[in-house]
Structure 1
Amino acid sequence: MPDLAHPASGLVTPADIERFERAEPLERRIAPTVYELFQRSALEHGDRTALAMVRTGERDERPERLSYADLLAGITRTANLFAALGGPGVGVAYLLPSLFETHVTLWAAETAGFAVPLNPLLSPDHLADLIEASGAALLVSCGPEISPDIWSKARSLAERLPGVRIVCVSAPAGQANALDLADASSLQRGDGLTFAASSDPQDIVAYFHTGGTTGAPKLVAHTHRNQLAAALGVGALLGISADDVVTNGMPLFHVGGAIATSLAFFAHGATVLMLSPAGLRNPAMVRGFWRIAEAHGVTVLGAVPTALSAILDHPVDADLSGVRVAITGAAATPRVIADRFEAATRLRLHEILGMTETGGATAIDPSGGRATIGSVGLRLPYTRLALRRRTAEGGLGDLCAPGEPGVLVVSGPTVSPGYLDPDQRDGVFIDDALNSGDLARFDEDGKLFICGRAKDVIIRGGHNIDPALIESMLLRHPAVAAAAAVGQPDAYAGEVPVAYVVLKPGAAVTTEDLMSFAERETAERPALPKAIRVMDALPLTAVGKVYLPRLRLDAMIIAARARLEALVPGVAIGIEGHEREAGQLALDVVVPPEIDAANISEILSAFTCEMTVRGVA
């Protein structure tokens, strides 16, 4: 039986978690604040490597390193700088690639006030809106020698937000309005804070933005307790120790990169191996992934499913015997990817269910047991998971019976206080619990399986279709590298499934071939795609999730055009699609003067989206 008094031993069953919870209360297992976590780690593991960075992926590369003592000193100096510039409680937004300085900025911001991590791929308008909404007074960015694109956006934001002070990693010479981070922080004390830092575990220390795969970003509040409880849970279920080295190729504006594969490991004195500033978007990291794992003693091998798909296109050319567990998350792992990974590495993938709204982690398939393919494992200690029925109005109903699937509801210390904008909270945060929007079920061992997103389910004439069934089927085709399925509006069935695929390099297959394959392999006839469309690449979010609104919009435009061409043949009608600020989809239809715009609106009544139909002279 594992030593349940110590999280590093790992937990395997629901009963283990219950005994772990009874052994000690949460407050005795975690630091009261994030800064104190780093103080404790530096005290116990001062000379050990906290962060390492590889940039080329070559076997003989010597990584840059930062010890726990130096990480704490950097956080302390930078927190003192932020407090000096904006006062205690200051909001610090950052727009950075994955650097040592990004870690220092994040944890220093949470010490001095609150952090606002930003996705560099967002537009300047969107970034400005997030900064203004958060109330951040400082923006940390980087100079053009690190990222010309980020520097350009930072300059644009400086013009739009004159009240926000710009602090820059490697500031270019002659930029009076950009304070150099290294120069300015070097003037601050590194052996102690010069201001009264937050000490209440319930204080808000960050606003992470989330939009997932389905909409515009929302600012999610994190407290010290949210993040520390999530980090504890990850450590307990993965059995993290100071001997671990974890690959981290995720961006640090995402909770997966910041909490699940960073803070959880910092709490145990482990080493976080950063896979270049661009992470696994860097082709060199993908090509050299296996070699990097061997050369740098990786024990916890992690990557999101889309990255794993690309990595698996390269043969395993390294000794992976030092890897004790392989993890993945951020999106559901297709069965074919899990099978390919196991065949190539002899390791099973342990999935993590993480949500921004739950401090970065919700459930994990524990490392101490055999991974269950398709499952995200067990709840984190001190949290609770419940399944509720959906009401006819789409709300939450009664608890589900044993074995019955339902909407996943999360409660406990990892759950965020809510979105910064109260108008976005309705139906999501209910009585201190989170309506995740995920459809899920438990198996007889208490392991959780995600069946899909409630909003992603395709409803074809009353049949509920899980897109994952279609995607998994198409991924079994030897020519298909990636697949996604969405609902396309239909006048008769409400919506029908359509699929988008990316072919493997050099594959020669037609859409007719793919449709024939789908007809043979689809067990449930309603799930047979109405169409299969080949793309060069699927649209992805910055963390590798398929960005479904883009595909839904494409399907909507194609369906609208086909319906109008069938009912109003020979007439030139223009159709454009748009994504609105709130993540809603909209169609703009332009008709010639001889066509009644009201008639067009009636024809497209099955399209449940914002629609503008206007005539043109």
Structure 2
Amino acid sequence: MEFDAVLIAPRRAESIARGYWQDRTINDDLDACVRRSPDKIALTALQVESGTTTRFTYREMASMADRIAVGLARLGVGRNDVVSMQLPNSWQFTLTYLACSRLGAVVNPLMPILRERELGFMLEHGASKVLIVPRVFRGFDFEQMAKGLQARMPKLEHVVIVGGEGIDSFEALLSEPAWECEPDAREILTRNRPGPDDITQLLYTSGTTGEPKGVMHTANTLMSNIRPYADAMRLGPGDVVLMASPMAHQTGFMYGMMMPVMLGAGAVLQDIWQPKPAIALIRSERVSFTMASTVFLTDLADALSDSAQSVPTLRAFLCAGAPIPGPLVEKARAALGAKIVSAWGMTEMGAVTLTRLDDDDERAFTTDGAPLPGVEVRIVDAYDAPLPTGSVGRLFVRACSGFGGYLHRAHQNATDAQGWFDTGDLAYVDARGYIRISGRSKDVIIRGGENIPVVEIEALLYRHPSIAAAALVAYPDARLGERACAVVVTKPGEHVDLPAIAGFLKSHKVAMQYIPERLVVRDSLPTTPAGKVQKFKLRELLREDA
């Protein structure tokens, strides 16, 4: 695969000079952990449904990473080849990433909620050579889906099944043979070690153009964000990080998987979000830090409030993905006994702003935090002129952790010659330098921290035989932040209901989380004189009807 990460080279010299890029990779940190603390528990992974817990010391983790790396090389994986993983939070996820880093391969995490429609585009666009999936997860047959996709994708050479029963299983191909002991293992593991500016991660994000965009990151871009983040949260080798948020998002990938290795800390993974198992893990593993979206915090606070249990080791819960209601901060502080931290970020650059541990609690629900070191923000008007403090405008960010560009879509990089990235969000900066996201100039719905590809779903709705016009808009939800509502106009004499729309979208292999959960049928949609649908009026309508 040829990667067109055109945004890396122009800022390398300054990023090195200012100490933001330290020219290290995750290999350097993993090797350092093995030297310093070989027998320290590095990774604990819980499978909620089976109750199985798997543990690795740093020595065992490095050895398994080498084993899987050689196994991948036996499948023909080498430098710049893309390995896609549609896995829940699991030790196989972490170890496959570390293995790819040994080979100079590029890891492409895919959310388990995705189905054929989204996956087909991502795997084809990213020219994936290997796809790793669970045999079955949460009752869904991933093996069948993956092999069906492979049949029409000549570049997808291998489908590897975690928990499979044949010769294509993860166990038979990668994790059970002692590949690391083979005579050529050392040469395989050293010949293609990636550099800090090589692409190491390809992560797709739902945009507004109707197709996902492949975000390219290097070790330098990712790690330059994780270091100041960890410093702000006062995290170090003695900490244990719980990650129940999906590692196929930057939240889980950067702060649940990479950060513990960089710190020499412990990581605890939970594959299915349920608050009671999370409480048990926090207590048994002495978890001190976690990060997730608002819905996780709500569930955890409710579960602790309803029980007699406590989580005394938990010092901080960093919450991102949606605004945190003030009453939830108060309830969570009382139930968890931990500091609630608010943050805002993007797949393209990781965390951009955080509130600080010493901030008063109010800032967690009235702001989205202040920029991390190495990050600059500015608010501009429609003509790119700077706006004064307190004025709402378009949010631009320039960060040392900024991505390398969108794969094969450089014209969509939204980054100017000075390195300023147009986030597509509206915000203001207060007198203390804290930002508040106040709206979106882009058309996206965020459901429980998961972006819904509005343009794609609307395009499908227009193909429904009974629908003449359609718009997908957000409506507020106390638990998930937002849910999606389809507002439609039917063709003369036609009728449509929500089950019919859901069934239609399912027939097109759309992820369940992308399917509207509410339907409004109208005689017409409000539009501008140019014919553009006025979605703000539809959102107002939904709020009035709530």
With the shorter chain as reference, the TM-score category is: 0.7 to 0.9
Q: In the alignment, which residue of structure 2 is the partner of 1:206?
A: 201
Structure 1: how far apart are the matches of 2:529 and 2:494? 17
SS state of the match for residue 401, structure 1?
coil
Q: Does 1:42 align with 2:42?
A: no
* Map of 2:373 onto structure 1: 381
The 5 A counterparts of 1:213-292 are 216-275=211-270, 277-278=271-272, 280=273, 285-292=274-281
The separation in 2 between residues aligned to 1:311 and 1:288, in whole angstroms, is 10
Separation in structure 2 between the aligned mates of residue 295 and residue 455 of structure 1, nearest angstrom: 43
The residue aligned with 1:333 is 324
Q: Percent identity?
A: 19
| Aligned pair partner of 1:75 in 19, 40, 65 | 65
Residue type of the alignment partner of 1:114:
V
Q: Is the 8 A contact 1:304 1:330 kept in 2?
A: yes
Task: Say yes or no: does 1:318 pair with 2:309.
Answer: yes
Are the structure 2 counterparts of residues 147 and 324 from structure 1 closer, same or farther at C-alpha, using a change threshold of 3 Å?
same
Deviation, 1:23, is: 12
Please point out which of 392, 396, 402 is paired with 1:409.
396
Alignment CA distance shift 1:437-1:146 (3 Å): closer
Pairs aligned (count): 476
Between 397-406 and 127-136, the greater mean CA deviation after superposition: 397-406
Shift of 1:319: 2.8
In structure 1, runs of 5+ residues without a counterpart are 1-20, 392-396, 458-466, 472-483, 489-494, 503-537, 539-543, 565-570, 587-598, 611-617
Q: Measure how far apart 1:208 and its partner are.
A: 0.4
Deviates more, 1:243-252 or 1:168-177: 168-177
Deviation digits for residues 183-242 of structure 1 (CA, Å, limit 9, x no counterpart) = 356356677753422443221111101117996422111111111112112211111111
Amino acid at match of 2:532: T
Match of 1:354 among 319, 322, 345: 345
What's the offset of the Cα at 1:449? 2.1
Using the alignment, how far apart are the partners of 1:57 and 1:496 within structure 2? 34
What secondary structure sits across from 1:82 in the alignment? helix
Question: Is contact 2:318–2:342 with CA below 8 Å preserved after alignment?
Answer: yes
**SS at 2:189's partner residue?**
coil
Counterpart CA distance in 2 for 1:329 and 1:603 is 33
The one-letter code of the counterpart of 1:152 is Q
The answer to whether the Cα contact below 8 Å between 2:163 and 2:171 also exists between their aligned partners in 1 is: no
Q: Which residue of 2 aligns with 1:363?
A: 353
Separation in structure 2 between the aligned mates of residue 429 and residue 260 of structure 1, nearest angstrom: 28
TM-score scaled by length of structure 2: 0.75
Structure 2 matches for 1:525-540, cutoff 5 A? none
**SS of alignment partner, residue 364 of structure 2:** coil
> What's the CA shift for 1:401?
1.9
Structure 1 letter corresponding to 2:357: S
Equivalent residues of 1:80, 1:195 under 8 A apart: no
Out of 156, 159, 163, the position equivalent to 1:166 is 159
Q: Which residue of 1 aligns with 2:468?
A: none
Counterpart secondary structure, 1:194: helix
Mapped to 1, the partners of 2:216 and 2:510 lie a distance apart of 19
Unaligned stretches of 5+ residues in structure 2: 1-14, 459-470, 517-522, 535-546
Stretch moving more, 65-74 or 367-376: 367-376
TM-score (norm. length: structure 1): 0.67
Q: What is the aligned partner in structure 2 of residue 418 from structure 1?
A: 405
Instruction: Give the one of 569, 573, 580 matched to 2:494.
Output: 573
Which structure: larger Rg? Answer: 1
Contact 1:208 1:220 in 2 (8 A): yes
Q: Which amino acid aligns with 1:608?
A: K
Q: Cα RMSD between the aligned structures?
A: 4.2
- Mark the CA change 1:363 to 1:42 in structure 2 (over 3 Å): closer, same or farther: farther
**Structure 1 residue 146, shift from structure 2 partner:** 8.9
Q: 1:24 to 1:163 in 2, by over 3 A?
A: closer
Q: Displacement, 1:182?
A: 1.5
What is the CA distance between 1:299 and its match in structure 2?
A: 0.9
Q: Contact 2:239–2:289 (CA<8 Å) still a contact in 1?
A: yes
Query: What CA distance in whole angstroms lies between the structure 2 residues aligned with 1:177 and 1:447?
Result: 46
The answer for the alignment partner of 1:183 in structure 2 is 176
The aligned counterpart of 1:194 is: 189
Label 1:604 to 1:341 Cα distance change in 2 as closer, same or farther (>3 A).
same
How far apart are the structure 2 equivalents of 1:317 and 1:291?
13
| Secondary structure, counterpart of 1:109 in structure 2 | helix
